[in-house]
Amino acid sequence: MTPTEPRAASPALQVLSDVFGYGAFRGQQAAIVEHVIDGGDALVLMPTGGGKSLCYQVPAIVRQRQGRGITVVVSPLIALMHDQVGALEEVGVHAAFLNSTLDLAAAQAVEREVIAGRLTMLYVAPERLMTPRLQGMLASLNERGQLGLFAIDEAHCVSQWGHDFREDYLQLSVLHEQFPDVPRIALTATADDHTRADIVERLKLEDARLFISSFDRPNIRYTLVEKDKPRDQLLRFIRDEHEGEAGIVYCGSRKKVEETAAWLVSQDVSALPYHAGLDADVRRRHQDRFLREDGLVMVATIAFGMGIDKPDVRFVAHLDLPKNIEGYYQETGRAGRDGAPADAWMAYGLADVVNQRRMIDESPAAEEFKRVQRGKLDALLALAETHDCRRVRLLSYFGEDSQRCGNCDNCLNPPQVWDATEAARKLLSCIYRFQQHGQQRFGARSFGAGQLIDVLRGKVTDKVTQYGHDTLSTFGIGADLDESQWRAVLRQLVALGLVVAEGEFNTLAMTDEARAVLKGEVTLMLKTPSEVTPGRRGRITRSGKAAGPKAAPIALDAEAQARYEALRAWRSEVAREHNLPAYIVFNDATLAEMAHRLPASLSALADIGGVGAKKLDAYGSEILRVLGTR
C-alpha cells in the first residue's frame, strides 16, 4: 500500500472497485477523496484526463451511504451534465440534472427525487442553483442533515483572470455563507497564481486544502508552426497524421469556423462547425454526433470543448493564436484523454500576435487587467517562439519543473537558430526612419509590416514611391532576406517585446527595450523559419490513409485485434439502445484489455479495470458471448 492510498478496506476504495471497477486510485486522488469524505474543503488542480470527476463522485457515494445526504455538482455545461449523469446511471448511481433542457414535468420529477432523498448527485448550472426555489429545497435538506457536499466544477470560471470567466460563478460565495457546515470541493484543470488566488477569495476557500497534481500530459505531442497557407498546412497534418480520426480545430471567429469546416468537407474530411451563433438545436446535434461517431472533426470557436469527455480525440489544432497559455492548455488537453498518443498542433503568424495585442489594448478593461493579460500573451508567445522543449516551457508557466520531453517538435527536430542581430538592427532602423520621415512629411502617419518589408527588400511599389520610402537610407538594406524570413524576424521581435503594433492601423513602433539592440549592445539569436511536422508513430501508410481498423490503445495480436473490433461493434449497439456515447458504456482501454486477457468467467471479467458490479451484471454474459468464452 502506497502512502497516498486509503486503507485497503476503506469505503472509498470499495466504491472505486465495486462501482467504477478500478483497483487503485491514481496520484493524489486517494488523499483528495479521503479529505473530502472527512468533511474538509478542497481546491483541486488536476489536468484534463487526470480523473477530477472521481474526486467528488466517490466522496458523494460514500457520504450518502453514511447518511450524509445528496451532493450538488455545479457545472456550467449542459452537455457535461448529460454525459456525467448518463455515466453514473450506467454504473448504478442514481443521479439527475436540473437545467433548461427539462420541461416543467421533468423538472418537477427531479425535484421530487431530491426531496425524497433518493438521489446521490444533482447536477445544476450556477444560475439555477441561485434561484429561490432551489435555494429553498437545499435549505430544507440542510435542516434535515441531508445536504452532503458541494462540488464546483470548472472553478476557474469564477476568476476574472481566467480564460473563461462567467459572471454567474460569482454568486457561489453564498454557499459558504448559507451552508457553512457543508464541505465544498472546487476543481479545475488550469489556474495560474492569479487565477488560483481569485478562486480562493471569491469562493471563500481560504481554509481549503490545496491539491496540485502535475500538469504534464506526456502522451500529447506539441507542435507549433509558422503560418504558410494555413488551411493547406492543416489538411496535410490531418491526412499525414490523423486520417479518419477524431479531432478538434479551433478558429478565432465564427466566420472562419464555418469556412474552414466547409473547406475540409470539400477535401473529403468529415467535419462539422460549432460556435455560439448557430441555432441551439444545430449545436446540440453537432455535439452529439461528435461524441457518438468515430472520425469526426469539429471546427469550433472556444464555445466548444469545456466538459467534453470524449476520450479518443486524437488531435487538437489551432488555426489562430489563443489568448493565453491557460486557454491553450485547456483546449489542447481535450486530446488524448484516454492516455494514448495525441497531437496538439498550431499554426500562428505575425497577424495573430498583432491582433491579440490590439484586442487587449482596445478593451474597456482596467489598466491592471490589461497589464496581466499582456503578460499572459507574452508567455504564450514565448512558448511559440522558444528554441527549447515546449513541455518544459509550458509546465514552467504553471510552476512545475521538468526535463526535456523528447516528444515535442523542438525536441524531435531541434530548430536552427542564427545570429539575427544585424537583421534586427536593420529592421529597427527602418521603423525609426519611418517614424522620422512620417513626422516630417505626413504628420503622425506610420506604416505596417507589409510596407516595412517592401522597403527593407528594396521593392518598388506604388505605395513605396507615393510616400517617398524609396529615398530612405534603409531602402534595400535587407535584400538578402526574403519576405517570409523578414516576417519571421519581425514576429519574433514582437514576441520579445522589442516591437509593438499600435493604433487602428497596427502601425509599428520600437519599445524602449529595443534601443540596446539597435545600438548593437546585445546579440540576438532567433529561430530560423521552418515548418516541422514530426512523423506519426506507425499508424499511417505511405498513401496517407489510415492503416486498417482502428488500432487498440495497447498492442494486440491479430486474433485479439479481431476480438477488440467485435467488442467495439457490440458496444456501439448498446450505446445506441441507451442513447449514450459509446465510451460511457466502456472505454477503448477496457475493451482492449478484455480482448487481450480473454476472460473465461464473470469473476475473471470483474478483474478488468472499468468493469464495476452494475456493468458486470448488465453486460457480463454478453461480453463473454462476444469473446466466445461463455
Q: What is the pLDDT of residue 542?
A: 28
The DSSP code for 546 is B
pLDDT confidence of 273, banded at 50, 70, 90? Answer: very high
Q: What is the mean pLDDT of residues 318-344?
A: 91
Residue matched to cell numbers 542581430? 421
Three-state SS string over 347-377 comes to EECHHHHHHHHHHHHHCCCCHHHHHHHHHHH
- 194: phi then psi, degrees, rounded to nearest 5: -60, -50
Q: What is the mean pLDDT of residues 594-599?
A: 95
Q: What is the pLDDT of residue 167?
A: 79
CB 411 within 8 A of CB 389: yes
For residue 351, is pLDDT > 90? no
The DSSP code for 243 is T
In this structure, the strands spanning 507-510 and 499-502 are antiparallel
pLDDT confidence of 630, banded at 50, 70, 90? Answer: confident
For residue 541, is pLDDT > 50? no
First to last CA, the chain: 35
318 closest CA partner among 383, 406, 399: 383
Percent of the chain with pLDDT over 70: 91
As given in the structure block, the three cell numbers for residue 425 are: 538592427
152 closest CA partner among 199, 213, 97, 94: 199
pLDDT tens digits along 294-317: 899 999 998 787 667 788 999 999
CB 250 within 8 A of CB 331: yes
pLDDT confidence of 139, banded at 50, 70, 90? Answer: very high
Residue matched to cell numbers 477569495? 201
Q: What is the pLDDT of residue 241?
A: 93
What mean pLDDT is reported for the chain? 87
62 closest CA partner among 117, 28, 15: 15
pLDDT tens digits along 427-444: 999 998 887 765 445 434
Q: What is the pLDDT of residue 443?
A: 39
Euclidean distance between CA atoms 33 and 51, whole angstroms: 11
Euclidean distance between CA atoms 19 and 612, whole angstroms: 5
Please report which helix (H) or strand (E) contains residue 74, including its range.
Answer: strand 70-74
Euclidean distance between CA atoms 516 and 523, whole angstroms: 10
pLDDT tens digits along 67-106: 999 999 999 878 788 889 999 999 999 999 998 888 999 9
Percent of the chain with pLDDT over 90: 55
Three-state SS for 408? coil
Euclidean distance between CA atoms 582 and 90, whole angstroms: 12
- 316: phi then psi, degrees, rounded to nearest 5: -125, 125
Q: Domains (ranges, CATH) in the chain?
A: 11-212 (3.40.50.300), 220-415 (3.40.50.300), 418-527 (1.10.10.10), 558-627 (1.10.150.80)
Helix and strand element counts for the chain (H, E): 27, 17
pLDDT confidence of 552, banded at 50, 70, 90? Answer: confident
Q: What is the mean pLDDT of residues 32-39?
A: 96
Q: What is the pLDDT of residue 440?
A: 47
Euclidean distance between CA atoms 491 and 357, whole angstroms: 13
pLDDT confidence of 65, banded at 50, 70, 90? Answer: very high
Euclidean distance between CA atoms 584 and 566, whole angstroms: 17
| Greatest extent of the chain over all pairs of C-alpha atoms, in Å | 90
Euclidean distance between CA atoms 344 and 314, whole angstroms: 9
pLDDT confidence of 160, banded at 50, 70, 90? Answer: low
pLDDT confidence of 529, banded at 50, 70, 90? Answer: low
Q: What is the pLDDT of residue 444?
A: 40
For residue 385, is pLDDT > 90? no
pLDDT confidence of 502, banded at 50, 70, 90? Answer: low
The DSSP code for 242 is -
367-376 long-range Cβ contacts below 8 angstroms, 24+ apart: 369/160, 369/161, 372/161, 372/194, 373/323, 373/324, 376/192, 376/323, 376/324, 376/325, 376/326
Worst-scoring range by mean pLDDT, 35-39, 178-182, 413-417? 413-417
For residue 615, is pLDDT > 90? yes
If you compute the radius of gyration of the chain from its CA atoms, what whole number of angstroms results?
27
User: Which residues make Cβ contacts (< 8 Å) with residue 407, sequence separation at least 6?
Assistant: 218, 221, 391
Q: What is the pLDDT of residue 274?
A: 94
Q: What is the mean pLDDT of residues 487-513?
A: 80
Q: What is the mean pLDDT of residues 279-294?
A: 90
Q: What is the pLDDT of residue 55?
A: 96
Euclidean distance between CA atoms 573 and 151, whole angstroms: 33
Q: What is the pLDDT of residue 22?
A: 92
- 149: phi then psi, degrees, rounded to nearest 5: -170, 145
CB 326 within 8 A of CB 156: yes
Burial of 351 (0-12, 13-18, 19+ CB in 10 A): middle
CB 594 within 8 A of CB 623: yes
As given in the structure block, the three cell numbers for residue 187 are: 476543481
For residue 192, is pLDDT > 90? no
pLDDT confidence of 449, banded at 50, 70, 90? Answer: confident
For residue 545, is pLDDT > 60? no
Burial of 579 (0-12, 13-18, 19+ CB in 10 A): exposed
For residue 536, is pLDDT > 50? no
pLDDT tens digits along 465-489: 888 888 899 999 999 998 888 988 9
